[in-house]
């Protein structure tokens, strides 16, 4: 399957580990642009537009997590760290399940293994809220995407700049599988996540309106071998992967990449993100 792929920092013998970057729903790989200066010194990057999103027009049928992950594995390096934001986190987890020898470590940002609440899992979006979003998307995709961008950035320091960036990115894209991709967020990936042997880092923001911070406690019990970090403070642009979030965290990514023992205990850590954006 032909997907839009951007690669940077790839040099023979560079010694830098490969890193696959997967964006969230409604966007494309360009959303990672502000992070490239922080990541390129450490990694050879592969940015993939998810099937039917961004500039990837093709998509598998049926449109399932299994098929989406398989399509991206076709484009990915033989071995790499995978970093997924939101929906991209779900896809990265499924890729790690399908090809554990190829996904050597897993990083997720503002990603919930089960985005829609159900019995025994309340730290997620209420089903009626998700269903209403699906209905609104069917009626007016443009307006729904704009509201989605606002929800991710409203009230955060630097939110206006982030909102302008997201809107500019959304305005340049013509996704072909927007509704199909949205439905992937209703899938339950908890069992998949719990079964993964890879070293993991999961990053959250305390004021994220889409992925509640209460999730970190649940996740610590689901994947006790993972490293979990929750950033506190209004300087975090909600779930938006702006440089002030991951440029500081990028220091941890090489460490995660070289952790090969899944038995390592890495307790949940709350990180206070001070005004000004520096740790």
Cis previous bond, 62, omega within 30: yes
What gap in Å lies between CA 205 and CA 203, rounded to an integer? Answer: 7
78: alpha, beta or left? (left if phi > 0; alpha if psi -120 to 50):
alpha
For residues 17 and 44, give the distance between their C-alpha atoms in angstroms, rounded to a whole number. 6
Q: How far is CA 148 from the centre of its chain?
A: 16
Q: What is the pLDDT of residue 94?
A: 98
Contact (Cβ atoms closer than 8 angstroms) between residue 91 and residue 70: no
Give dist(CA 86, CA 227) in Å, integer: 17
Residue of 175, 172, 176, 148 whose CA lies nearest to 162: 148
The string of pLDDT tens digits covering residues 108-153 is 988 999 999 999 899 999 999 999 999 999 999 888 888 777 666 6
* Mean confidence (pLDDT) of the chain: 80
Q: How many residues does the chain have?
A: 279
**Pick from 275, 206, 190, 277: which is nearest to 239 by CA?**
206
Block residue for tokens 């002030």: 244
The span from the CA of 164 to the CA of 156, in Å, is: 13
CB 272 within 8 Å of CB 66: no
Helix (H) or strand (E) holding 245: helix 243-249
- Rounded alpha-carbon distances, angstroms, from residue 211 to 1, 113, 207, 265: 31, 10, 9, 24
Ordered domains of the chain (ranges, CATH) = 5-272 (3.40.50.1820)
- Model's pTM, two decimal places? 0.85
Terminal Cα-to-Cα distance of the chain (whole angstroms): 42
| pLDDT, tens digit, 9 for 90 and up, residues 53-99 | 999 999 999 999 999 999 999 999 999 999 999 999 999 999 999 99
Do 71 and 94 touch, CB atoms closer than 8 A? Answer: no
Helix or strand run (H / E) with residue 134: helix 127-139
Q: Which region among 114-123, 176-185, 256-265 has the lowest average model confidence (pLDDT)?
A: 256-265
Mean pLDDT of 242-254: 50
Q: What is the pLDDT of residue 208?
A: 78
């Amino acid at each position: 399957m032909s997907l839009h792929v951007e690669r940077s920092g790839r040099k023979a013998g560079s010694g830098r580990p490969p890193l696959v970057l997967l964006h969230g729903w409604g966007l494309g790989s360009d959303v990672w642009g502000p992070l490239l200066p922080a990541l390129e010194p450490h990694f050879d990057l592969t940015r993939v537009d998810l099937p039917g999103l961004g500039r990837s027009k093709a998509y598998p049928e049926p449109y399932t997590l299994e098929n989406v992950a398989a399509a991206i594995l076709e484009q990915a390096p033989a071995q790499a760290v995978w970093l997924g934001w939101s929906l991209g986190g779900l896809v990265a987890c499924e890729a790690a399940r399908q090809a554990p020898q190829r996904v050597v470590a897993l990083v997720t940002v503002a990603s919930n293994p089960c985005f829609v609440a159900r019995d025994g899992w309340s730290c997620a979006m209420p089903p009626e809220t998700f269903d209403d979003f699906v209905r609104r998307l069917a009626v007016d995709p443009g307006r729904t995407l704009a509201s989605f961008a606002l929800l991710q950035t409203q009230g955060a320091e630097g939110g206006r700049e982030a909102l302008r960036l997201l809107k500019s990115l959304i305005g340049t894209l013509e996704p072909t599988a927007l509704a199909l991709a949205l439905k992937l967020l209703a899938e339950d990936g908890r069992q998949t996540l719990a079964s993964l042997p890879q070293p993991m880092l999961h990053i959250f923001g305390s004021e994220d309106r889409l992925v509640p911070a209460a999730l970190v406690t649940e996740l610590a019990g689901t994947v006790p071998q993972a490293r979990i970090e929750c950033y506190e403070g209004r300087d975090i642009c909600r779930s938006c992967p702006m440089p002030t979030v991951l440029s500081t965290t990028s220091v941890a990514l090489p460490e995660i990449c070289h952790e090969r023992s899944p038995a390592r205990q890495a307790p949940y850590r709350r990180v206070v993100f001070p005004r000004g954006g520096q740790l």
